[in-house]
Amino acid sequence: MTVALMTEMSQMLFAHDAEVSLAAAASLVNTGRGEAELLPDVAALDDFVTRWGWTGSRAHDQAELDAVHRLRPRLAGFWEMGADGGAALVNALLREANALPQLVKHDSWDYHVHATSPEAPLADRMAVEAAMAVADVIRSGQLERLRICAAPDCDNVHVDLSKNRSRRFCSTACANRVNVAAYRVRRASR
Ligand SMILES: [Zn+2]
Ligand SMILES: [Zn+2]
């Protein structure tokens, strides 16, 4: 994970690794939610994996990319279902990947939880990391923080880690677009 992302999530509602995992899961879901496919090929997946600091083994093949594509609509379920559905999905993802939580230190990271081995398939590791993070969210009663962007023309998901639960948009681009549109309406009605 980059330093910029770490400081962006400074508030620490959840354990740091859980917050990073939630942001990574949202970003992964969003690669398949817009008009354009943002993970069209293995090279794009390589970039995504590097950007989000994933370590562990990689296949760099079409099967790996297909498995990641199949995972996205399942992870989107966390943003679409309530706590019961979300809990069932957490359990299913952990079970399917034979998750076994272990505290580990590696590279420059202090102790955090890995529930899969570094040799597990990338999509399994992504699924389990997201499931472990959402487990934290659900058991602290914070699932409403997983939101869909309020911009009418955007379907992206995001994670509201703000103190007053006020984040409505997936990005400043969406917030600005909606604010400009509202301003124009106000000005036209004057
Ligand atoms: Zn790690
Ligand atoms: Zn948006």
pLDDT single digits (tens) 112-162: 888 999 999 999 999 999 999 999 999 999 999 999 999 999 999 999 999
Quick one: which ligand is closest to 21's CA? 1
Looking at all shown ligands, the one closest to residue 154's CA atom is 2
Q: Where are the alpha helices (DSSP H) in the chain?
A: 3-8, 16-30, 42-51, 62-80, 83-96, 122-139, 172-189
Cα of 127 to ligand 2 centre, how many Å?
A: 23
pLDDT in tens, 40-52: 999 999 999 999 9
Q: Are 113 and 135 in contact (CB under 8 A)?
A: no
Ligand located closest to 56 CA: 1
| Ligand 2 center from residue 174 Cα (angstroms) | 5
- What pTM does this model have? 0.88
Which residues are bridge partners to 112 per DSSP?
A: 104
pLDDT band at 107 (very low <50, low <70, confident <90, very high): confident
Ligand 1 centroid – CA 42 distance (Å): 22
DSSP 66: H
Q: Report CA(53)–ligand 1 centroid distance (Å).
A: 9
Structure confidence at residue 4 (pLDDT): 45
**Could you tell me the pLDDT band of residue 6, with boundaries at 50, 70 and 90?**
very low
Task: Please report which confidence band the pLDDT of residue 14 belongs to, taking 50, 70 and 90 as the band edges.
Answer: confident
Question: What HEC string does 122-146 produce?
Answer: HHHHHHHHHHHHHHHHHHCCCHHHE
- Centre of ligand 2 from the C-alpha of residue 168, in Å: 9
Q: How far is the CA of 35 from the centre of ligand 2 (A)?
A: 12
Q: How far apart are CA 50 and CA 44, in angstroms?
A: 10
